[in-house]
Amino acid sequence: MDEINYDDFRTAGKIASKIRKESENLVMPGGSLLDVAETIEGMIAEEGYKPAFPVNISINNIAAHYTPEAGSDAVFGDDDIVKVDFGVNVNDGLSDTAYTIDLSEKHGKLLDASRKALDAALKFIKPGVKVGEVGGVVEEIIKADGFKPISNLTGHMLRPGILHAGIDVPNVKTEDPYEFQEGDIFAIEPFATDGKGYVNDTDQVEIFSLYMPGQVRMRESRRILTHILNEYGLLPFAERWLHKECKSKLLLKNALKEMLRTQMLKAYPVLKEAEGGLVSQFEHTIIITANGVEVTTK
């Protein structure tokens, strides 16, 4: 495994924490989703770094993986539950954090369920604890508040330059045997819902990541692939980020289709709660210490 520069992960967490606090005031009725996403990404750039992935702004029954498309005119509604999920990349040291804002001010208990589950999980985690046991803690807290955890969304291990590094942390109790080890880095993200308790893919895809570079036929595909390799590596990127790199929207669509067809790219469909339930999410990035956790995004 690559040697980990923990100071880069800590810096990424510190910057994300600062931006999280500052960005909460951006979410308001009538505000533009695209403006908020681009403002947060701009705040990261002002710090001298890049996003770890596109800013996700998932509303109401959309749980994850939505980032506004180029030219989007979508705005926040008076009663929206808004989940903002973003991260910072500092020399391949990554952070991943999320918060939920209830513009209706009617669903405080739903937000509290995922927030309390996150706090309980962070107190429970230490070396030797199994990830499936953490899922049990999250599940118990959320169900005690009268909601359901989303069973097919998970937290995840991070490695340098890799956002999802192969080990997941479930939001329900499982028999997963992996035990946290000192020095591990994870993002913990409980999701609570008043719906069915799992999500389905939609047809909309705005986020992709490079899976396996290879040969592509079209000239524009080759140019876009080179740009992806140079700018994002294996980290997720938004289709809207590529618009300024391509002569036309149609050429870009065709290039992405070719790379998806040849399995060079992974697509991240927008995820919707199966029963249309409302969803809340809170998330922190942590480093496992000898006695517990260090929260980098606190």
Examine the domain organization and report whether 29 and 78 are in the same domain. Answer: yes
Which CATH number goes with the domain that contains 226?
1.10.10.10
Active-site annotation holder among 189, 194, 220, 273: 189
Q: pLDDT tens across 165-198, in order?
A: 999 999 999 999 999 999 999 999 999 999 999 9
pLDDT, tens only, 68-109: 999 999 999 999 999 999 999 999 999 999 999 999 999 999
Regarding whether 164 and 16 lie in a shared domain, the answer is yes
284 given a catalytic annotation: no
Residue 126: which domain range?
A: 6-201+272-295
Residues 31 and 60 in one domain: yes
Q: Are residues 17 and 53 in the same domain?
A: yes
pLDDT given for residue 212 in this prediction: 80
- To the query of whether residue 243 is one of the catalytic residues in this protein, the response is no
- For residues 192 and 280, membership in a common domain is answered with yes
Average pLDDT, the chain: 96
**Of 164, 168, 206, 239, which one is the catalytic site residue?**
164
Question: Which tens digits make up the pLDDT trace of 118-162?
Answer: 999 999 999 999 999 999 999 999 999 999 999 999 999 999 999
- 96 noted as active-site residue: yes
**Is the same domain home to 197 and 225?**
no
Q: Are residues 192 and 256 in the same domain?
A: no
Instruction: Give the closest residue to 280 by CA, choosing from 137, 36, 117.
Output: 117
Q: Tell whether 100 and 174 lie within a shared domain.
A: yes
Catalytic annotation present for 189: yes
Q: Is residue 98 part of a domain?
A: yes
Q: 112 and 247: one domain?
A: no
Residue 215 and residue 169 share a domain: no
Domain membership flag for residue 160: yes
d(CA 298, CA 294): 9
Q: Which residues contact 226 (CB under 8 A, 6 or more apart)?
A: none
276 found inside a domain = yes
Of all residues in the chain, the percent with pLDDT exceeding 90 is: 89
What is d(CA 94, CA 296) in angstroms, rounded to the nearest whole number? 10
**How many domains does the chain divide into?**
2
236 and 191 share a domain? no
Residues 240 and 135 in one domain: no
47: domain CATH number is 3.90.230.10
Among residues 8, 41, 80, 96, the one annotated as catalytic is: 96
Among candidate residues 65, 107, 156, 284, the one labeled active-site is 156
| Residue 1: inside a domain | no
Contacts with 186 (C-beta within 8 Å, 6 or more apart), sequence order: 125, 155, 156, 157, 158, 167, 169, 180, 285, 286, 288
Tell me, yes or no, if 65 is annotated catalytic: no
